[in-house]
Structure 1
Amino acid sequence: MPTLLETYIENRFRVQPNHANNNETLHGGTLMKWLDEVGAMSAMRFAGETCVTARVNELDFKRPIGIGDTAVVESYVYDAGRTSVHVALRAWREEPRTGEREETTASSFTFVAVDSEGKPTPVPELEVGGAEGERLRDRALSRDR
């Protein structure tokens, strides 16, 4: 069984002018795409199968990310059903020269594992795997309430 920590992914994207809206900050749709892509990677790492987006459970934008900043996206599986995979996501604005961060976005997505014919297929049970896994799972579950 895969552990929560084995599904943990952190990815970085440099915000360029073509990613920006009229306010010269990262377009929300672009960030949502990045969250979806990184979330799918965590889901597939967990399921061992192709996973498709079934639902955006929540998407809270707290502050913008500017042109020239780095968007840092964190993703991990925190729960699973029979064929569904629940992924917690957060994003930060990171100053590329100093590494200073501030949280900008919190989200969770549900993915469904599919077989080669596109039909839902079972996923394994999630093993939390230690104190850090418990901390991350508790953080994700507290956001779902």
Structure 2
Amino acid sequence: MTLRFLAEPGSVNFGGKVHGGALMKWIDAAAYACAAAWSRHYCVTVSVGNIQFRKPVVVGNLVEIQARIASTGRSSMHIHVTVAAGDPRADTLERTTDCLIVFVAVDGDGAPVPVPPFEPRTAHEQRLARYATDLKQAHQALEAIKP
């Protein structure tokens, strides 16, 4: 799933850059669209992890958000999201942000429902699946030691 738009003045923070919260909102929207398209159900965000803001996005930038399935569970989907931005008059966009979001597909009553399995085929898809599995295991280990 790919969303593209221009960063507008209403999204800036006090430093003159696009606010991180605005980026997170756009990331969640793209990831939701990906999860809903994959599962064909309404989906809810369970977690957002390992978000990295690498470079700022500025007003007037063309922003491209790509969301792709990294792995699936019974009702969950790990979605890898990347944000790239740059001058719309230039030929290239630079990666600014990335993260992994977990969604769960639910029915009309909010109960989890099964999703189609994702089978990584390319080397890139296999790396994303390993990344999702590693982060899931790290998250579970951290959860076990939370106070």
State if a TM-score over 0.5 links the two structures: yes
Distance 2:126 2:58 in 1: 30
SS at match of 1:43: helix
Tell which structure's C-alpha radius of gyration is larger.
2
Give the CA deviation at 1:124. 1.6
Q: Which residue of 2 aligns with 1:125?
A: 117
Matched, 1:112 2:101: no
Counterpart of 1:49 (choices 37, 41, 59) is: 41
Query: Number of residue pairs matched?
Result: 134
Residues 77 and 55 from structure 1, CA distance in 2 versus in 1: closer, same or farther, beyond 3 angstroms? Answer: same
Distance 2:68 2:126 in 1: 9
Letter in 2 for 1:36: D
- 8 Å CA contact 2:7–2:59 kept in 1: the answer is yes
Cα RMSD between the aligned structures? 1.6
Give the CA deviation at 1:10. 1.4
Post-superposition Cα deviations, 1:4-49, rounded to whole Å, max 9, x if no partner, equal xxxxx11112111101111111110001000000001111111111
Post-superposition Cα deviations, 1:115-138, rounded to whole Å, max 9, x if no partner, equal 01111111121133x43xx41341
Counterpart of 2:60 (choices 31, 56, 68) is: 68
Moved over 4 A (4+): none
Could you state the TM-score of these two structures normalised by the residue count of structure 1? 0.85
SS at match of 2:110: coil
- 8 Å CA contact 1:53–1:111 kept in 2: the answer is yes
SS at match of 1:53: strand
- 8 Å CA contact 2:35–2:43 kept in 1: the answer is yes
Runs of 5+ unmatched residues, structure 1: 1-8
Post-superposition Cα deviations, 1:57-112, rounded to whole Å, max 9, x if no partner, equal 22110110011111110100110111111000010112101132111101010001
Q: Which residue of 2 aligns with 1:85?
A: 77
> Kindly, what percent of the aligned residue pairs are identical?
31
Residues 90 and 140 from structure 1, CA distance in 2 versus in 1: closer, same or farther, beyond 3 angstroms? Answer: farther
Tell which has more relative contact order, 1 or 2 (C-alpha 8 A, sep 6+): 1
SS at match of 2:29: helix
SS at match of 1:23: coil
